[in-house]
Structure 1
């Protein structure tokens, strides 16, 4: 019998899927944008964060999860990358949209400020249960993603890979991309050993990601 595949795609039960549906049926609102650690809201509820390079589809995914098209706003303006945006989910969770990374034209001072804030947040947030790192399914893990993966390792924050735009990948290419992602993740001790594959446009994987978040304790 062949060995199980490392980093398989997540599978959830109907019961887990229903728990995710119920959680995300609750009210979701923008709480605040934070530019310094003293602006963080109280760590009094379970928290998950979303990280990803610019244009990976992070805002679109958050909107798809919550069923609210304009909740998270996409921006290609480097200045907006300084904020950590907090959203309340039901009465029990925070969803956190981390600054997009990978802006080649961002001023050095902006990049350094973002890196400092991100390191402080990841290492000092006791209620943070998991980071979801979004990777474009067309390209796999790129060198620009490696810095955030290493930072999550050193911060001892469990992270789970979420492949976005999966509908844009031809069936013949999917296996190669998944192999590349699995090989990269195997080098990171903080990586959760299951991958979530999504398409915000088609709705694929949204229920699965909701179920995963609902299952965190």
Structure 2
């Protein structure tokens, strides 16, 4: 779970084309940048479903640890339900990553176009280079976030497998829960880094459009809601 909002790319809904025939380099760059935003739509769409699945799984976990071993059949049943929710979360994460990867591939198309900017647009070129550098850092930060979240999911899956074993000891359970909570701490850190680079990117994109004289109207893309703390209690009957 990310615990904090995932910041999205900022969309520019309108820009006014210059009167010259054909597209200028800055107009082509604009199209690639905004298509990258649209390709992240699937990423944004996964945030609310992920949050709901996380909440449902947390509720099942809370129910499980309130049960005693005399109710092992119920523990086993709820653990299987929780494991199924983890699988659903993994599918949402996969869709999220595919969206980010597609957006990055589209963004990379601006690189050769930067050199086509007019000589008098030196400031714009400088900002565009910074934009590329920041997007690369953002993309790498997302890879770290993805890997951290996937690791947390793997640990969650193992937890629910363990809870279906009647000979599970309290010590084994507590150790697994500790590993899970540490893993989600890494998710928080990776998420914060991703958000930082996203905000920097959005600001640089605005500066680039201003530098090349594109008249744009901005619309904030949807952001995910804040997520509740997912740390699991180490208590169990």
Greater helix fraction, Structure 1 or Structure 2 = 2
TM-score computed with the length of structure 1 as normaliser = 0.23
Greater strand fraction, Structure 1 or Structure 2 = 1
TM-score computed with the length of structure 2 as normaliser = 0.22
